[in-house]
Chains A and B, each alone.
Chain A
Amino acid sequence: MTSDDRRQRFEALAPAVIDAIRRYLARRTDPATADDVLSETLLICWRRLDEMPGEHLPWAYGVARRCLANAERAHRRQERLAVRIAALDGFVVAPPEPADDELAAAMAGLRGEDAEILRLWAWEDLAPAQIAAVLGITANATSIRLHRAKQRLRDELRKTGAAAGHEESTEGRRP
């Protein structure tokens, strides 16, 4: 592939990747970190363009996932936020409407990996085989984990629903 071909291919697929990864990051981290991790993810996609599979989104989510994990290990987020709050643009997200505190509490009650597989399924709208590509596990293992995670979420919802007596809880936790 010549460098022009490479550029053309990247320019063709990158806008969709940018859109998807921005959403992925907006769901999981603060705007400043999202901004950094988006740049880093794109850079890796560009450098490893030749390795990118035809179905590139799950692959790109996988890259973003690892970059985000690194970023969160490396940075003291609060400090950075304070410094950079003025530079933010585009990543500010309004709270979801309407707030579903019961669901938020149920999600918070799950183990991290269960909650994450449910987010990939519902928010990123991925099929089990795609989730498998993001997480680097087999499709079979993904299907089993996803099935269990849904079941655990239903259990949690029943628990929180029963505890709240189906009243609106006011102090909802966000996932």
Chain B
Amino acid sequence: MTDDDLRTRLRRTDPAASLAPLPPGQVSRLLEETMTAGVATLPARRRLLLLLPVLAAAAAVLLLAGAGWLIFRPSDPVAILPQALPSAAPVRLTAAPGGNAKCREPQAAMLAANADYAFAGTVTTVGDLVTLRVSKVYRGPATTTVQVEKQPGSSETVMGSGTFEVGKGYLIAANEGTLLVCGYSGEADTPGLLSLYEQAF
């Protein structure tokens, strides 16, 4: 068997032979996300740490229950921690009473009234800590990086499509360290979310 025959035979088994090209819209989105994520490369002067204990089961139920864009609330709170404060030990907030997963339709006024920290950012790394590069702070102290810490046993599933994904943009609001997820935080391209933020802040 010649080299050419061998190559031809291998090519016939190429698993990507039938891969359709990415639609132009998705290519542009991918490019935009990439370049936006890469622009803000300032060193982090101040980091905020979000503790995000989300119950997998609750998230799964909500994923199923979510109509339109997903709105849900974890049964545990999320802590947003100014890490730069001297000797700030990680603060664990107590769980909010009840695990009610039903959410009312998000209102800009509610967001404006409740969020003490809100920002737009792109996920740069996902691991035990999810790191977001902040592209815009809507409310609260300026920062370049926010980290979300997943607690042991918590799910990777958080909001929007259900995960934090590297390169994706998110809009995130928090109140006293508690992440507002009941329709108030999610993927930046979740329909309606950006306009909600623009209305609120």
Q: Which residues of A contact B (CB under 8 A)?
A: 3, 7, 10-11, 14-15, 18-19, 22-24, 26-27, 35-36, 38-40, 42-43, 45-47, 74, 79-80, 83-84, 86-87, 90-91, 93-96, 98-100, 103-104, 118-119, 121-123, 150, 153-154, 157, 174-175
**Is B167's CB under 8 angstroms from A42's CB?**
yes
A90 CA to B30 CA, complexed, in Å: 13
Tell me the minimal C-beta distance from B19 to chain A in angstroms: 5
In the complex, per-residue mask of B23-50: 1 if CB is within 8 Å of any chain A CB, else 0: 1001100110111011101000000000
> Contact size class for B?
35 or more
Bound together, the chains give a CA A175 to CA B12 distance in angstroms of: 13
Max chain B CB contacts within 10 Å: which of A42, A87, A99, A157?
A: A42
B10 at interface by CB-CB < 8 Å:
yes
Are A93 and B19 closer than 8 Å at their CB atoms?
Answer: yes
Expressed in whole angstroms, the Cα–Cα distance for A93 and B37 within the complex equals: 29
Q: Contacts of A84 on B, CB cut-off 8 Å?
A: 161-163
CA distance in complex: A43, B173 (Å): 25
A67 → chain B, closest Cβ, in Å?
Answer: 9
**Which A-B residue pairs are the 5 nearest by beta carbons?**
A39-B167, A122-B10, A23-B16, A26-B16, A42-B34
Q: Which residues does chain B contribute within 8 Å of A3, judged by CB atoms?
A: 39
> Known: A83-B156, A95-B15, A100-B9. Contact between A42 and B30, CB under 8 A?
yes
B13 A96 Cβ-Cβ under 8 A: yes
CB A88 to nearest CB in B, in angstroms, measures 10
- Given the interface pairs A42-B34, A47-B41, the reply to whether A122 lies near B7 with Cβ below 8 Å is yes
Residues of B within 8 A of A174 (CB): 15
Tell me, yes or no, whether B89 is within 8 Å of chain A by CB.
no
Report whether A150 and B30 are in contact in the complex, using a CB–CB cutoff of 8 Å: no
- Residues of B close to A45: CB separation below 8 A: 34
**Residues of A contacting B166 with CB < 8 Å?**
36, 39-40, 43
**Is the beta-carbon distance between A14 and B31 smaller than 8 angstroms?**
yes
How far, in angstroms, from A7 to B6 measured CA to CA in the complex?
41
**Known contacts A39-B168, A100-B9; A10 and B16 CB within 8 A of each other:** no
